[in-house]
Amino acid sequence: MPYRPRQQRDLERAHRAGAAARSAGRPALETALIQIGAAFDDAAVINALKLRVERTLRLGPQHPAVRARYSSRAAMLGGRGLDAAIVLVERSWRVERKAFQIAAALGRGNRLSVDLLTELRLILRLMRRRRMGAQFAAIVAALCEEPIAMAAE
């Protein structure tokens, strides 16, 4: 089977769920609800995370959107190796997730830092899997670089 992009596979999964419901003789409204449910279920949420991470990796550390999103967290990782950064981000993610759960219970939750750390966890794990430990320091330095220093070059 030829390679299909993640986004296309995600859409095909929702279409297959709808086709299965139609072939089972379900009413049109129920078929639509099944297809919508497949498009927004847990697998779709995980695929959306992976799509965001893939887009971030394609843009690279010099892109302004990537720098705006990750520069403060990258400054926190400066001077560490890839494995130490993974441990630090994992701990931070657990603390932020717990803080979000408490804040959400009180009606004041904000998922931004949890989502950011979730993306960063996946990026760092992917870097470790691709054996990019040597490039890690250069990527962190590129994220922490001041925009004015870039313009001067």
Residue-wise pLDDT tens digits, 89-106: 999 999 999 999 999 999
The confidence score (pLDDT) of residue 153 equals: 46
The confidence score (pLDDT) of residue 115 equals: 93
Q: Is 122 helix (H, G, I), strand (E, B) or coil?
A: helix
pLDDT tens digit string along 115-153? 999 999 999 999 999 999 889 998 998 888 755 444 444
The confidence score (pLDDT) of residue 44 equals: 87
pLDDT tens digit string along 9-39? 888 888 999 999 999 999 999 999 999 998 8
Query: Per-residue confidence at 5, pLDDT binned at 50, 70, 90?
Result: confident
What is the CB-side half-sphere exposure of residue 99 using CA atoms within 13 A? 11
Residues in the chain: 153
Q: Tell me whether residue 130 is exposed, middle or buried, using C-beta atoms within 10 angstroms of its C-beta: 0 to 12, 13 to 18, 19 or more.
A: exposed
Contact 83, 128 (CB under 8 A): yes
- b/e burial code for range 59-94 (CB count within 10 A of at least 16 → b): eebeeeebbebbbebbebbeeeebeebbeebeebbe
Query: 46 or 109: which carries more pLDDT confidence?
Result: 46
d(CA 96, CA 117): 8
What is the CB-side half-sphere exposure of residue 56 using CA atoms within 13 A? 22
The confidence score (pLDDT) of residue 146 equals: 59
d(CA 63, CA 44): 26
